Amino acid sequence: MAFDSLFIGVSGLTAYQSQIDVISNNIANVGTVGYKGQDVTFQDLLYQNTGFASAPTQTLGGINAQQVGDGVKIGAIDTDFTQGGLQTTGINTNLAINGNGFFTLNNIDGSGSASYTRDGDFSLNESGYLYDPTSGKAVLGYPVQSNGTISQVAPPQPIQVPFGLKSIAVGTGFGAKSGPSTDKVFDVSLGGNLNQTDYITAVSSAGVSTTLTTITTTIYDSLGGSHEVQIQYQPAPPAPAVGINGAALSPPVTVNNPSGAAVTAATEWAYTVTSTDGSLGPNPPATTTLGSGYIFFDQNGQFINTTSSATNAVPADLHAAGQPPSTTTGDLFTVTQWNSVAGANNSTQVGTGTANPAVIGLDFSNMTSLATAATANTVSQNGYASGILSNITVGQDGTITGAFTNGQNTTLGRLALASFANEDGLTRDGGNQFTASANSGLAQYGFANNGQLGSIDAGALEQSNVSIASEFTKMILAQRSFEANAKSITTADQNLQTVIQLKQ
C-alpha cells in the first residue's frame, strides 16, 4: 500500500535527519579540546511477510519468503575514541593524554559523582587545587604520604599544591649521599681533570712542585648559610728513599682500589681544603686548613683511590667501597664550627654554645689525570639553603614535582588516570565530560605510562579528533539520502492521488 511507503519514507527522514544532527555536532566541535567524534549506524525495521518460505520437495526446489521492509531506524550512535592531535601551549598545568585513559574530576570536598574527561585545560585555584576552571571540579590523584611515597591503596582525591611550601635547609654532610653505584657514602663529588704533564714536570725536577690547581666551592650549614671553601691540588712527586710500604715512591707503584684490587698507580696528587671566607672554625684566619689527603691515578689517568699518607698507602689507609670516608683514608674534612661566633650556625642548634662538627666526605672518582689542561670542578654537594616553591612540572607518568628557589625538587603528588571496560558505554554530560553508566563498567584507576594507560604530555592539550573532510563526505551522503526519502514520500503521495482519481 502507498500508506506504507509514506511511513517508510518518514522513518528514513527521521533517521537521516538524526545523522545530519550528529554530523553537525561533530563539525561544531571541531575546535573543542578533547572532543571525541560520534558516528551513526542504522538498522532496518520489522518486515511484513507477504509470502512464506517452503522447503524443497521431490518436484519443486522450494520457495523463498517474500518480505517487505517497514523502514530504517538508528541502531547506535558510537563514540570514536581515537587519539586527537596534541597542541603545545607552554602552560605547565595544561595536560594531554597520549594514549588511553581519562582524567578524573570531582568536587573538592569529595561529594557528588566523579566525571571523566580528556580535556586537560587545568589550572590552580586560590587554594592550590589543580582543577577544571569551566566546571570548578578538582582533578583527582594521589598525594605524597608522610614517608615520601605515593600509594594507590586509598581512592584518588583532589590534588593540592601548597602555595608558600618551604624546602628546609640541609647542611652539607647531612643530605643524600653520592658516589659510585656501590659506594654512595660521600657528600661532595669532585670532577674534572688534573694535568698529568704538571706531575711529570714535578718528577723530573726531583722536588716539591709549586704548580697548583685551585677551585672554590660552596658548602652550607643547617640554617642555609653558605660558606666558601677552596680545594688545591698539587703534584706529589716521589721523595728519596721513602714510599709505599717502605719502598721508594717511583711510579709505577701498586695501590688497591676501593674494591680491593691492586692497580698500578702512575701519578699522585696532594690536596688541601681550606676556608677562604673566614667563616669556618673558631675565629679562623683566612686560610684555615680543614682537611687534606692524597689521590692516586693509573697509567690511563683514571682514579684509583685516596689515602691520608703519601708514604704509607697500606690497605688500611685506603678507602674501601661501602665504608664511610675518614681522615685515615684521606677523603674527608671536618667543620668544627660553622661561624667564628661560638655556637652560631652549627649543625644542630643555634645559641647552645656547643659546636656540632660536620663530617664531609669527598668523592674523587669522577676525576682524571690526563695530559690535557686542568679542568677540576665540583660536580655536586648535598647541602642547600632554604627555599620556597616556585613552580611545578608534571611528568609523563603523572608525577607532580615542585621546584623550589633553592634548586631542590620535591614530589608533591601523582595524577590518577581512569579506564573502563567499555568506553562506548560512557554517558556524555556536556562540558567535555563523561560519566560512568551501567554498561561502561566501573572506573579502574592507575598511573599514566603504566600498563594500558597512556602517557601525559604537560604543556599541551589534545585537540578534537573530528576530520572535517570525513564529516563533509558523510553529510553529503546523509543529505542525498534525506532527499531520496523525501522523494519516496512524494511518489507515494502521487500514487495515492492517482488511486483517488480513478473514480473520476
Query: How does residue 239 score in pLDDT terms, banded at 50, 70 and 90?
Result: low
Is the pLDDT at 201 greater than 50? The verdict is yes
- Looking at the structure, do residues 374 and 227 belong to the same domain, yes or no? yes
Residues 49-72, mean pLDDT to the nearest whole number: 85
Range of the domain at 41: 2-56+64-82+466-500
Domain boundary pick from 385, 405, 427: 385
Taking only the tens place, the pLDDT of each residue in 413-436 is 999 999 999 999 999 999 999 999
Instruction: Note whether residue 175 is domain-resident.
Output: no
Instruction: Note whether residue 171 is domain-resident.
Output: no
- The top-scoring range by mean pLDDT among 130-139, 383-392, 484-493 is 130-139
Is the pLDDT at 286 greater than 60? The verdict is no
Say what the pLDDT of residue 247 is: 38
Taking only the tens place, the pLDDT of each residue in 202-223 is 777 665 566 789 999 999 887 7
Closest CA to 466 of 33, 9, 123, 62: 33
Say what the pLDDT of residue 341 is: 54
Instruction: Note whether residue 204 is domain-resident.
Output: yes
Taking only the tens place, the pLDDT of each residue in 105-116 is 999 998 889 999
Instruction: Note whether residue 180 is domain-resident.
Output: no
Please, what is the average pLDDT of the chain? 86
- Looking at the structure, do residues 221 and 358 belong to the same domain, yes or no? yes
Residues 351-360, mean pLDDT to the nearest whole number: 62
Total of domains in the chain? 3
Closest CA to 238 of 253, 226, 223: 253
Give me the amino acid identity at 372. Answer: T
Dihedrals phi, psi of 21, to nearest 5 degrees: -60, -45
- Looking at the structure, do residues 218 and 353 belong to the same domain, yes or no? yes
What Å distances lie between residue 389 and 90, 256, 443, CA to CA?
19, 46, 33
Say what the pLDDT of residue 349 is: 47
- Looking at the structure, do residues 380 and 393 belong to the same domain, yes or no? no
Least confident of 246-250, 275-279, 402-406: 246-250
Residues in a beta bridge with 44:
72
Residues 129-142, mean pLDDT to the nearest whole number: 95
DSSP notation for 433-458:
EEE--TTT---EEE-TTSTTB-EEEE
Instruction: Note whether residue 178 is domain-resident.
Output: no
Instruction: Note whether residue 89 is domain-resident.
Output: no
Higher pLDDT, 502 or 298: 298
Percent of the chain with pLDDT over 90: 58
- Looking at the structure, do residues 450 and 407 belong to the same domain, yes or no? yes
Q: What is the CATH number of the domain that holds 309?
A: 2.60.98.20
Query: How does residue 296 score in pLDDT terms, banded at 50, 70 and 90?
Result: very high
Assess whether the previous peptide bond of 282 is cis (omega < 30° from 0): no
Is the pLDDT at 249 greater than 80? The verdict is no
- Looking at the structure, do residues 406 and 491 belong to the same domain, yes or no? no
Is the pLDDT at 99 greater than 50? The verdict is yes
Is the pLDDT at 141 greater than 70? The verdict is yes
Higher pLDDT, 11 or 206: 11
- Looking at the structure, do residues 11 and 124 belong to the same domain, yes or no? no
Say what the pLDDT of residue 52 is: 86
Is residue 6 packed enough to be buried (19+ CB in 10 Å), middle (13-18) or exposed (0-12)?
A: middle
Rounded-to-integer distance, Cα 144 and Cα 399, Å: 10
Domain boundary pick from 385, 404, 435: 385
Instruction: Note whether residue 183 is domain-resident.
Output: no
Is the pLDDT at 354 greater than 50? The verdict is no
Higher pLDDT, 452 or 148: 452
The beta strand positions in 125-179, using DSSP E, are: 130-131, 138-143, 157-158, 166-167
- Looking at the structure, do residues 247 and 326 belong to the same domain, yes or no? yes
Residues 488-492, mean pLDDT to the nearest whole number: 82
Say what the pLDDT of residue 281 is: 59
Domain boundary pick from 356, 385, 414: 385
Q: Three-state SS string across 360-404, please?
A: EEEEEEEEECCCCCCCCEEEEECCECCEEEEEEEECCCCEEEEEE
- Looking at the structure, do residues 335 and 395 belong to the same domain, yes or no? no
Rounded-to-integer distance, Cα 170 and Cα 354, Å: 19
Residues 400-404, mean pLDDT to the nearest whole number: 94
Say what the pLDDT of residue 252 is: 62
Instruction: Note whether residue 174 is domain-resident.
Output: no
- Looking at the structure, do residues 292 and 307 belong to the same domain, yes or no? yes
- Looking at the structure, do residues 77 and 221 belong to the same domain, yes or no? no
Query: How does residue 238 score in pLDDT terms, banded at 50, 70 and 90?
Result: low
- Model's pTM, two decimal places? 0.75
- Looking at the structure, do residues 442 and 496 belong to the same domain, yes or no? no
